[in-house]
Structure 1
Amino acid sequence: RKSRRYNSYKGTIGRVAKNLIHRRFYTSIPHQKVTTDTSEFKYYEHDKNKKLVIKKLYLDPFLDMFNGEILSYRISERPNAKAIMDAQKEAIDRTDDCPYRRTFHSDQGWAYQMKAYKKQLTKQNIFQSMSRKGNCFDNSPMENFFGLLKQEMYYGVIYASFKQLKQAIEDWIHYRIKTKLGCSPIQYREQMTA
């Protein structure tokens, strides 16, 4: 049975940032442009009455637009601020070597409008950019990542536990090779900055 797609937009709960990226996703500088979003996955477990129950898992990755590398991510059983804030902090720390001012891009989801999320970016002198409301093409690098991930390891496979699905996602992220780069995203960055 097809269910409603997860949507992190809950209206304006904070301040919406301007779209500074304007679909200019390409950058020749590692760690300059970073994008993020949340995606929902389903798995199936039996409850104590042996009835099949649909459960959900949420993935919050931060992706470097330079090479498609996942800088950080968190996986949780429900959408929550802590997972996003922890992944954001790790992404900020990992991109600290960028010689130019960084931009973190997202959609207008509730988590990216939070004062705490914005405060961390401001504190590190990072620009915040947001897609226009309801326009997935404004964040296509992240949408493409989710599409590729689900196509290669999720669609057509039934996962029987949170642990099993989480492990499959982690294995895919760590193994992932961008064919257009001809090597892993990390190797590509090292070659370009050597």
Structure 2
Amino acid sequence: MYWQKRLEQKNPNASLEKKIQEIFDEHHGNYGYRRIHLALKAQGIMVNQKKVRRIMGKLGLKGSKFIRKSRRYNSYKGPIGRVAKNRIHRRFYTSIPHQKVTTDTSEFKYYERDKNKQLVIKKLYLDPFLDMFNGEILSYRISERPNAKAIMDAQKEAMDRTDDCPYR
């Protein structure tokens, strides 16, 4: 019986719902629950922000201008510069030493204490040159920034080590 009586009750928030709908329509759907709450407060209607949010959900009102993006941030801007030709074609095994040499830059994070004894996250970048014949690392560089200088220095050292190689 209790629920039957509740269903017959009038909506206690009808005037508030009407006011929220008016504010939402007046601003062409650009107001979310926070701005509508401030507008109601400016009109002298004291109501909890959670209640405004709940009523807006019930009425199906959603601010269209400031919707959060559903994808993660990605700073990749596409290919920049000239892309080298793919000469390996996933044939990673070779029977000749120093025929195929590869490199990659890896980022490592570590913690360090500063002057105020606060933990600070730092990064190091490793640029190894690897011989695909036996997995030997010919040379490497570790730097605090991912720059071309470290890669070129490691490449020069790898080329100097493989100078006596009959196959280039």
TM-score by length of 1: 0.45
RMSD: 1.9
- The percentage of aligned residue pairs carrying the same residue is 95
- Number of aligned residue pairs: give it: 94
Per the alignment, residue 171 of structure 1 pairs with none
Q: Which residue matches 2:162?
A: 95
Give the corresponding residue for 1:33.
Answer: 100
2:112 aligned counterpart, secondary structure = strand
Q: Which has the higher contact order (CA 8 A, sep 6+)?
A: 1
Show the 5 A alignment for 1:14-93: 14-93=81-160
Please give the secondary structure, in 2, of the residue aligned with 1:63: strand
Q: Give the secondary-structure state (helix, strand or coil) at the position aligned to 1:92.
A: helix
1-side partners of 2:85 and 2:148: how far apart? 22
Gap regions ≥5 residues in structure 1: 1-6, 102-194
Please say if residues 32 and 98 of structure 1, whose CA atoms lie closer than 8 Å, have aligned partners that are also in contact: no
TM-score normalised by the chain length of structure 2: 0.52
The CA deviation string for residues 58-116 of structure 1, in whole angstroms up to 9 with x for no partner, is 10000000010000000111111111110011111222233233xxxxxxxxxxxxxxx
Distance 1:97 1:23 in 2: 27
Structure 2: gaps spanning 5 or more residues: 1-73
Corresponding position of 2:33 = none
Give the equivalent residue in structure 1 for 2:79: 12
Larger Rg over CA atoms: 2
After superposing on structure 2, the runs of 4+ consecutive aligned residues of structure 1 that deviate more than 3 Å are none
